[in-house]
């Protein structure tokens, strides 16, 4: 049977969500397998090596690198305080001594004979990793972190900015085609994750930031407005490290595009519940899409994993992801094998799609499967 593979974004009512919570360097895992977790539970911690200060002791004392060790009053591994003497020349008859003081609190990490440099390391920087979502410890990865698992509703967006946030979902737009305007965003929405419809303007996003909103899920946003938020033109879609109060998850794309009904309805059904979101996106090999995770109270262990389809087939529900008909949802009527000529004269494999009772031939590459479950 003819079918084709297209990337699809997940919209799952119930799935066993799991996510690695890993330290940037090896450290200590603070929880055990099966432990119950809330989003803010610290699951692992470590210390990143402190910043480095390099002292050219030979230059300061005006001596050869090989002579540095003889002048040092500290050794590798010693702790030093800011201003503490770390090297001194013998001087002339005990007079005219030159010395070097530590510019910082820290530890003497290394002393180089070949370059005459002394490396001082400042105090370690503590790093902690939290659980991100409510759930349980599914697996402990020794010295590195855990895999958190949670029975949850799970939705992927197409693009997002800013990293992980938590908050209660609050439905603001009543319809997937409704714009989420600045007037609808109020101070009492601080810490909430707002659910909008088709579009969020820059003005509305700024209002949300000023109201300390934790995140917004929206159908469409203007590409060119990102520059004002990020401070630079977003050249490649790799995000997640932006330091922004309000995370943004766009579910459909750039412009004003009604949120897909499946996504909107699922979010609406969870209005008021706590959710964890992450705007991090990486559209490259090893793709990362932004996500919305809504942990469910039901902890039943029935198989609720995603039922991933093989690809687009006759009867599949698909979304058109390029103009014309951008954003529209339709049903696949047929998948002709022969290449077809488009208006652009491009020869492509197409699918025949029914949209609002009209049939269209659309390149298969311009279709995206809509996963419904």
Task: Determine phi and psi for 118, rounding to 5 degrees.
Answer: -110, 125
Q: DSSP characters for 213-247? A: --EEEEEEE-GGGHHHHHSS---S-EES----SSE
Q: CA dist 231 to 12, 206, 210, 242, Å?
A: 34, 14, 17, 10
CB 33 to another protein: min, Å:
20
355 binds another protein (CB under 8 A): no
Please state the φ and ψ torsions of residue 188, each to the nearest 5 degrees. Answer: -75, 0
d(CA 84, CA 118): 14
Is the CB of 52 or the CB of 90 nearer to another protein? 52
Nearer Cβ to another protein (79/186): 79
Q: Which of 8, 106, 138, 279 binds another protein (CB under 8 A)?
A: 8
39 binds another protein (CB under 8 A): no
**Cα separation, 40 vs 129, whole angstroms:** 9
Number of residues interacting with another protein: please give it, by CB under 8 A.
Answer: 70
C-alpha span between 119 and 138 (Å, rounded): 42
Does 179 contact another protein by CB under 8 A?
Answer: no
Tell me the C-alpha distance between 151 and 119, whole Å.
Answer: 49
Helix (H) or strand (E) holding 209: helix 202-210
Is residue 69 at the binding interface for another protein, with CB under 8 A as the rule? no
User: x-or-dash pattern for another protein, window 252-271, by CB under 8 A?
Assistant: -xxx----------------
> Judged by CB under 8 A, does residue 18 bind another protein?
no
Least distance in Å: CB of 75 to another protein? 18
Minimum CB separation from another protein for residue 142, in Å?
12
Q: What is the CA radius of gyration of the chain?
A: 28
Is 345 near another protein (CB under 8 A)? yes
What whole-number distance in Å separates Cα of residue 234 and Cα of residue 289?
A: 16
234 part of the interface to another protein, by CB under 8 A: yes
In angstroms, what CA-CA distances link 60 with 96, 118, 210?
14, 11, 51
Nearest distance in Å: CB 268, another protein:
24
How many residues does the structure list for the chain? 373
Per CB under 8 A, does 343 bind another protein? yes
From 168-176, 185-193, 269-277, 360-368, span contacting another protein (CB under 8 A): 360-368
Cβ closest to another protein, residue 146 vs residue 169? 146
Residues lying near another protein in the complex (CB under 8 A) are found at 4-10, 22, 24-26, 49, 51-54, 65, 109-110, 112, 114-115, 117, 119, 121, 144, 156, 158-159, 222-224, 232-237, 253-255, 281, 283-287, 289, 306, 308-309, 321-324, 326, 337, 342-348, 362-363, 365-366, 368, 371
């Amino acid at each position: 049977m003819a079918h084709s593979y297209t990337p699809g974004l997940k919209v799952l009512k119930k799935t066993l969500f799991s996510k690695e919570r890993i330290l940037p360097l090896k450290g200590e895992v603070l929880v055990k397998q099966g432990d119950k977790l809330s989003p803010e539970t610290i699951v692992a911690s470590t210390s990143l090596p402190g910043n480095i200060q390099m002292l050219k002791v030979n230059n300061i004392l005006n001596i050869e690198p090989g002579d540095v060790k003889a002048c040092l009053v500290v050794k590798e591994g010693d702790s030093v305080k800011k201003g503490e003497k770390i090297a001194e020349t013998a001087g002339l008859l005990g007079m005219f001594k030159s010395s070097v003081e530590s510019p910082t609190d820290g530890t003497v990490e290394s002393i180089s004979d070949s370059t005459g440099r002394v490396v001082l390391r400042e105090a370690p920087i503590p790093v902690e990793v939290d659980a991100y979502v409510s759930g349980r410890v599914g697996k402990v990865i020794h010295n590195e972190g855990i895999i958190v698992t949670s029975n949850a509703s799970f939705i992927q967006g197409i693009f997002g900015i800013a990293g992980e946030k938590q908050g209660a979902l609050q439905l603001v737009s009543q319809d997937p085609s409704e714009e989420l305007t600045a007037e609808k965003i109020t101070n009492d929405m601080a810490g909430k994750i707002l659910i909008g419809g088709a579009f969020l303007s820059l003005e509305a996003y700024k209002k949300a930031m000023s109201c300390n909103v934790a995140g917004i899920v929206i159908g469409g946003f203007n590409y060119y407005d990102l520059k004002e938020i990020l401070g630079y033109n977003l050249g490649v879609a790799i995000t997640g490290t932006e330091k922004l109060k309000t995370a943004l998850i766009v579910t459909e794309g750039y412009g004003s595009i009604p949120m897909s009904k499946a996504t909107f309805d699922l979010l609406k059904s969870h209005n008021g519940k706590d959710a964890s979101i992450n705007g991090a996106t990486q559209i490259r090999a090893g793709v990362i899409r932004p996500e919305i995770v809504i942990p469910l109270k039901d902890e039943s262990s029935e198989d609720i994993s995603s039922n991933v389809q093989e690809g687009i087939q006759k009867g599949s529900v698909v979304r058109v992801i390029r103009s014309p008909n951008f954003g529209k949802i339709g049903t696949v009527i047929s998948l002709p094998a022969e290449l077809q000529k488009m208006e652009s004269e491009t020869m492509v494999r197409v699918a025949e799609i029914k949209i609002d009772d009209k049939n269209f031939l659309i390149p298969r590459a311009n279709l995206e499967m809509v996963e419904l479950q």
